[in-house]
Structure 1
Amino acid sequence: MTESGLDVLTKTTTRLRRPPAPVAASRRNPGDRVAVLDGLRLCAAISVAVFHFTAINADRLWDGHSPFSRLTQASSYGWLGVELFFMISGFVISMSAWGRTVGGFARSRLIRLFPAYWPAVLLTAAVVTLWPSLNRPVTPQQVVISLTMLNEPLGVVPVDLSYWTLWAEARFYLLFAVVVWLGATRRRLLWFGYAWLIASVVAVKSQMPVLVTVLQPPYAPYFVAGIGFFLIHRFGSDIRRWGLVGLAWGLGMYSLGVRVAQTSRTEHRPLSMSVSMLIVTALFVAMAVVALGWTDRVRWRPLTTAGLLTYPFYLLHQHIGGTMIQHLHRLPPIVTVAVVILTMLVVAWMLHRLVERPLARLLRERLAATDAPVPPIQRGVSIPEPEWTASGPARAGRPG
């Protein structure tokens, strides 16, 4: 028995109308805040601060000799908190840039970075100028160039030496903007990570300064690891995603050798490569725990507050905290460090609440206003003459 032409047409139409196979849905909303990352971010900032106060600057801060022994042996590795910063940044930027345009991504970075950065630069400049016990007074040129956040590529010493990480972050944002421009998808993020890692290896081999500057081989593995952990957190485990994290870890172990050697020379003490590798591996494990969702139930509000304080704390702690230490020698050294860190956290909270939030709100409104559509000029409607002409002010009373 043969089917009629009508039956065949009906079945064909039904097949054409059948919805396509569903795409694997993400496990989480890309905008969901991960509270544990906020806590890890603050831990990284405090580890860097303790490193600055008890290890690398110990002789200058404590009258030529360090009062710490065992603490210094541990805090000498506190600089590895920066590597954790970069991993968290790769995770968070991948999460926050999802679904944005390039313009929206650029605005979000400006609003996130500068409202805390500008007042921190001015406050630090004022402190080290009024109390130049630890550092020489900064010059007006240093202040102006630091406000642009471009002091590193211009070769100008920043107001606070901790600002060097911001240049690394900025280069990451510029590279990531390519993915945003194309449209962030899990496939594009994955291949962007692989391409960046391979290109960073080529940059090292080529020894071309431009490639090294743009691709920043020492830090690329940590940003890429954060991207990989985000993909795992949102879309689940996959051999290609874990492969990206594994490759980032391997290249991170390679670049870590250069970082350990540089820090050993700066601190004037030998640092163990094995210990550094263990610490960085532990940081990767901590990020893996977050990526697998094992900490999703942790939603303590104090952790979110900690995340908000981390950036202003990091911007303020080194030179201002060091100046405070030099004026608190009457207290026991460990108490002095604790007091300074707590004070810096309070100052960071005040900066966030009183300056950063209002300034960010104002900047967001102004940037949004520039995107407002311009109404078209209607024919037949007279346009008023400007009050200023080429020959001078059109009204009396205007300044000339």
Structure 2
Amino acid sequence: MSGTGTSSSARARVEIVDCMRLAAALSVMAYHYLYNGIRNGKVTSISHEPIAHIAQYGYLGVNLFFMISGFVITASVRGKTARRFAVGRALRLYPAFWVALGITTVFALVLGGDRMGVTATQVLVNLTMIPSELGQPYVDGVYWTLLYELQFYVMVFVLVVCGQGRRLAALMPAWALLMLYIDVAAPQLGGAAPYLGGYFVWFAAGAVIASIVESGWSLYRGAGLLAALLSITDLEMSLTSGLETLVFLMMLSTVIPQVRSLRVPGSATAGALTYPLYLLHAHIGYMLLDRFATESTKWLAYALVTGFVLALAYLLHVTVERHPLSRRFWHWLLDGTVGRAAGLLEAGAEALRTAEGRRRRRRETLSA
């Protein structure tokens, strides 16, 4: 690929990415149902099957989620004000999350018992999506990933407020290179400070791949991509790093035009179901499996629980995320709160830039 402009094909929705979303969600579900729920004692009525040795790597679906978030972020920012970006991201994350939180809470009150029961304070703090930062446990363990999504969006929002949204794609390779430097020179910083390593390298990797899709290969983008891969694999050879490389290559395949142009029936629905499915599957599945599954009926229970959670996710999608009345209500609510705050920050930043521009021109005039 070559060229510096953004082609129409680069801007089009990449259907294979929607399929990757669903594959990531299903791999995480397999990890929880077949391996983690039993290992951590939340599902005690059944034992591991041999397939658990494979399912234990399903957590890598989360890493793919982070790459996809990085991949789509430049399109989410392009041509938008800070207010529109903030409201758009809030609409993407919060309405479905709040409803899923309520559904999971009902299940926890009925079936949770001592292991997965919840308190009123815990539920209220979880509404923020950052309960771990406020001293409360998650209602559902999978919510930990949402903190990373929020932090990533906050970083992008700050760039947009500062007038750097149009440079987002150009900054991503530098971010990846910085994280590789930190990983090599000061690895203790990568886990101690946000944005300097850890899961954030997956966001950067996806964003660099998107910049290659849109603007073609360059030495700078290639260096950023290599830096992300080296950080992801921790500069070591192991089964885990090999699987992480496969996840990386899966996303990298989108730079191939033939891959991006693939048309997959049902891909839009697959992509749309992913977030509700991710929010609902884990603790609800644990509670149902623990209550109803036995060694002799486990595979039937797995099928029934999976079908139930998929149906619940579809219902959440069509009633909360897609229904016109719901969409209008949530847009009104979030635009009047998150959007208003973002607009004030944006206006303040613009006023500061305008004032600084006037001072600079005045200094230039005086020195002329």
Quote the residue 2:353 is aligned against.
none
Give the TM-score taking structure 2 as reference length: 0.82
Quote the residue 2:330 is aligned against.
363
Residue 171 (1) aligns with residue 138 (2): no
**Distance (Å, rounded) in 2 between the aligned partners of 1:188 and 1:116:** 27
How has the CA–CA distance of structure 1 residues 118 and 367 changed in structure 2, closer, same or farther, with 3 Å as cutoff? closer
* Matches for 1:33-48 after TM superposition, within 5 Å: 33-48=13-28
How has the CA–CA distance of structure 1 residues 193 and 174 changed in structure 2, closer, same or farther, with 3 Å as cutoff? farther
Matched residues, number = 332
Quote the residue 1:353 is aligned against.
318
* C-alpha contact (below 8 Å) 1:160/1:318 kept by paired residues: yes
Q: CA deviation at 1:246?
A: 1.1
Quote the residue 2:357 is aligned against.
none
How has the CA–CA distance of structure 1 residues 135 and 291 changed in structure 2, closer, same or farther, with 3 Å as cutoff? farther
Quote the residue 2:245 is aligned against.
281
> Relative contact order, CA 8 A, sep 6+: which one is greater?
2
* Matches for 1:105-120 after TM superposition, within 5 Å: 105-120=85-100
| Runs of 5+ unmatched residues, structure 2 | 344-368
**Distance (Å, rounded) in 2 between the aligned partners of 1:338 and 1:275:** 29
How has the CA–CA distance of structure 1 residues 160 and 188 changed in structure 2, closer, same or farther, with 3 Å as cutoff? closer
* Structure ranking higher in helix proportion: 2
Residue 126 (1) aligns with residue 106 (2): yes
How has the CA–CA distance of structure 1 residues 238 and 201 changed in structure 2, closer, same or farther, with 3 Å as cutoff? closer
**Distance (Å, rounded) in 2 between the aligned partners of 1:199 and 1:335:** 45
Quote the residue 2:289 is aligned against.
325
Aligned AA (2:292): L
* C-alpha contact (below 8 Å) 2:125/2:136 kept by paired residues: yes
Larger Rg: 1
Could you list the per-position Cα deviations for residues 37-88 of structure 1 after superposition, in whole angstroms to 9, with x for gaps in the alignment? 111011111111111111122253553652401x111011111111101000
Greater mean deviation of Cα atoms: 60-69 or 94-103: 60-69
After superposition, the CA RMSD in angstroms is 2.7
Over the matched positions of the two proteins, sequence identity in percent amounts to 31
Residue 99 (1) aligns with residue 79 (2): yes
Q: CA deviation at 1:218?
A: 0.9
Q: CA deviation at 1:205?
A: 2.3
* Matches for 1:50-61 after TM superposition, within 5 Å: 50-59=30-39, 60=41
* Matches for 1:136-285 after TM superposition, within 5 Å: 136-181=116-161, 182-185=163-166, 188-195=168-175, 197-198=177-178, 201-202=181-182, 205=186, 207=188, 212-215=192-195, 217-254=197-234, 274-285=238-249
Quote the residue 1:382 is aligned against.
none
Give the TM-score taking structure 1 as reference length: 0.76
Residue 343 (1) aligns with residue 308 (2): yes
How has the CA–CA distance of structure 1 residues 346 and 64 changed in structure 2, closer, same or farther, with 3 Å as cutoff? closer
* C-alpha contact (below 8 Å) 1:31/1:96 kept by paired residues: no
Quote the residue 1:49 is aligned against.
29
Q: CA deviation at 1:294?
A: 2.4
| Runs of 5+ unmatched residues, structure 1 | 1-22, 258-272, 374-400
Could you list the per-position Cα deviations for residues 175-223 of structure 1 after superposition, in whole angstroms to 9, with x for gaps in the alignment? 12233232433x54233441365157548828469x8342251112100
Quote the residue 2:267 is aligned against.
303
